[in-house]
């Protein structure tokens, strides 16, 4: 008879997540009800401090403070809206043109092997700040996903946000 030795499964506790999920609808985004993005824009702090990469007329780009990978940018309209159909024609045009420029900048600055572009509209779809739609632009490399995210709720990022933001600003397409 063959008896296989089984190593006990290590458990990593992530108990804070239950509270976050069950109270998501109870928390105002900020004391005045504005999204974190609007709060950052109103702060008056310099772009280098807030990690804003680009400002246009109707849309802007900011580094994701909780990135999936180095160079993870968020493209947003200035106006807080939760759904694409709430954007006016000028906002829509500039949002998507800015997404294209963000992809160009990340390709020029970081030379990824691929790029993910996407939105999560609404809390059930994964929108962490669902009141202020934002388009994710995420550079990807073969093998960039590792066991850390799956097992330790941790990501390894080899570069600081200010350094990456500076590279993206320098690579931003000029009109």
Sign of torsion over alpha carbons 155, 157, 163, 164: negative
58 is catalytic: no
Q: Which is catalytic among the residues 58, 72, 134, 136?
A: 134
Surface-to-core class of residue 169, CB atoms within 10 Å of its CB (0-12 exposed, 13-18 middle, 19+ buried): middle
Q: How many percent of the chain have pLDDT more than 90? A: 50
CB 160 within 8 A of CB 49: no
Query: Domains plus CATH for the chain?
Result: 16-171 (3.30.428.10)
pTM: 0.75
Q: Is 49 helix (H, G, I), strand (E, B) or coil?
A: helix
pLDDT digit string (tens) for 119-167? 988 887 776 788 899 999 999 988 776 544 544 555 556 678 888 888 8
pLDDT digit string (tens) for 56-70? 999 999 999 888 788
With a CB cutoff of 8 Å and minimum separation 6, the contacts of 39 are 30, 32
């Amino acid at each position: 008879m063959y008896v296989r030795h089984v190593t006990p499964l290590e458990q990593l506790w992530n108990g804070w997540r239950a509270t976050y999920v069950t109270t998501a609808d109870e928390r105002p985004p900020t004391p005045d009800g504005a999204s974190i993005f609007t709060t950052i824009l109103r702060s008056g702090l310099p772009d280098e401090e807030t990690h804003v990469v680009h400002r246009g007329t109707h849309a802007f780009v900011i580094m994701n403070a909780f990135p999936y990978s180095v160079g993870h940018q968020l493209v947003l309209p200035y106006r807080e809206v939760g759904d694409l159909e709430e954007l006016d024609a000028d906002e829509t045009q500039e949002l998507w043109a800015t997404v294209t420029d963000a992809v160009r900048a990340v390709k020029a600055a970081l030379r990824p092997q691929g790029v993910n572009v996407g939105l999560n509209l609404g809390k059930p779809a994964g929108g962490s700040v669902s009141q202020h739609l934002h388009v994710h632009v995420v550079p990807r490399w073969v093998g960039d996903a590792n066991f850390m995210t799956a097992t330790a709720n941790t990501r390894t990022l080899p570069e600081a946000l200010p350094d990456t933001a500076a590279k993206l600003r320098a690579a931003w397409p000029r009109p």
